[in-house]
Structure 1
């Protein structure tokens, strides 16, 4: 079955749009796909399961997804008003970022979240230790309003359940007939290259170890697991109980195209 590729409506560091074919080739058939680290949702958007359990530790992300699932029309209309030339302004961006950090209103935060994702630097999603969104202004000529992508997500979200818990809790929800795909914050390529603060909580070595152990236990219980990560000595050690598939992927975290070199990536199959 050929699946038309669909882009996520969010820009996302480490998004899996470019690896969809590789991932779909190794995902076992099942009734339900579970994603403990759904991120921008490229695997969800480009796979064909009867049901989805989609989780992320980032509460802003999950609240936005729930709004699209239940009230897409009002959300998309309100969000579109922030994609005009008047809002593509450095001072306006920092004003909205400050309002976002001060707000506890779910709809307001969701509207600002999409605005900042498309107007902020390089599509990053990053919070400081106090939970404040701190991505600088991106200086784009004309930020794209992803209306088509938003509507596609909203339609497909009718097959999904969204949760905002630790990945360990998500694994506990797995049962026979499920398959789990994990796209965790990657192990750093060097001690200074770690990018793990998109939720404000970080993802440590102990978390990487726990994930590998959970994947092994889940597989032993009859629920297959696929994990993406960098191809490193560390990850090969962590995933030593899995079948490993090596792939190459062009990273897009660097704003300068000339610096977007291909690095090794692993798909660990439990």
Structure 2
């Protein structure tokens, strides 16, 4: 059993628990392209020759490039924030305020990890003006992920990080690539609202456009695309023509611990080998 590697960030919808199952559905290829890299669990637990890892969250990509290129400087600066006197509400809100006012990439990356570990539920959320607005989390002793940072930095030597939307990530892919998409989840019901990770939300139109882009990329460019999402009638309809598999996952849907339930996840693989040609 190979050791699983955890991401150094807490992340809503992170794929750590799913990664073994998910890897079984990923085709072979030279390079893995991820248009929605998130915390990077799939990148950390797969073994491709190289990686193109994309996200529209500028802070995330900036952080990854700094961890890749300046691990020692970054770890020293970030670790200094993980002390008891910084684990108080007043300090957290002071840091959040400074984060929202500075454009300094290194400082923002240090503050980002601090807020990720000290903020409520590890959420990453911005207001309409682009200000980070997650409240204080009140944790006894936030964990400083030093060994996870070191592993990420080492593995990142095989990766290129780009702050681009998913369409551009697809356009940057080439023969020999495999694309894995982990978009913001489709809502379980029409009343469930989307979690906005960065910028405007990912709408139902976006879900449909992503499915279409995936199908065309597999058919016309012979680049296989795997998408994961909630396994619900809506996604089954969106991914018609793909090879589909369902896996169970413990998902923390509710704040109440006792109502956390298993929601199946669909793995939809677009590959020209077994495609129903539909449009």
TM-score normalized with structure 1 length: 0.97
The match for 2:268 is 268
The match for 1:259 is 259
The match for 1:161 is 160
SS at match of 2:246: strand
The match for 2:228 is 228
The match for 2:277 is none
1:140-179 to structure 2, matched below 5 A, reads 140-179=139-178
- 1:240 correspondence with 2:240: yes
Q: Distance in 2 between matches of 1:80 and 1:252?
A: 28
Q: Distance in 2 between matches of 1:252 and 1:8?
A: 18
The match for 1:138 is 137
Give the CA deviation at 1:204. Answer: 1.0
Q: Distance in 2 between matches of 1:193 and 1:123?
A: 20
SS at match of 1:213: helix
The match for 1:199 is 198
Structure 2 unaligned spans of 5+: 271-279
Give the CA deviation at 1:172. Answer: 0.5
The match for 1:218 is 217
- 1:102 correspondence with 2:115: no
TM-score normalized with structure 2 length: 0.94
Q: Distance in 2 between matches of 1:186 and 1:143?
A: 27
Give the CA deviation at 1:236. Answer: 0.8
Please give the root-mean-square deviation of Cα atoms over the aligned residues, in Å.
1.1
The match for 2:70 is 71
Q: Distance in 2 between matches of 1:167 and 1:257?
A: 33
Give the CA deviation at 1:78. Answer: 0.1
- 1:57 correspondence with 2:69: no
Contact 1:12–1:39 (CA under 8 A) maintained in structure 2? yes
Contact 1:122–1:253 (CA under 8 A) maintained in structure 2? no
SS at match of 2:217: helix
Contact 2:253–2:261 (CA under 8 A) maintained in structure 1? no
Change (3 A) 1:232 1:253: closer
Q: Distance in 2 between matches of 1:97 and 1:254?
A: 26
Q: Distance in 1 between matches of 2:217 and 2:254?
A: 35
Contact 1:75–1:111 (CA under 8 A) maintained in structure 2? yes
1:18-37 to structure 2, matched below 5 A, reads 18-37=17-36
Give the CA deviation at 1:190. Answer: 2.0
Structure 1 unaligned spans of 5+: none
Q: Distance in 1 between matches of 2:40 and 2:258?
A: 27
Give the CA deviation at 1:207. Answer: 1.0
Runs of 4+ in 1 over 6 A off after TM superposition: none
Q: Distance in 2 between matches of 1:137 and 1:173?
A: 38
Q: Distance in 2 between matches of 1:75 and 1:66?
A: 11
The total of aligned residue pairs comes to 269
Q: Distance in 1 between matches of 2:69 and 2:187?
A: 37
- 1:88 correspondence with 2:87: yes
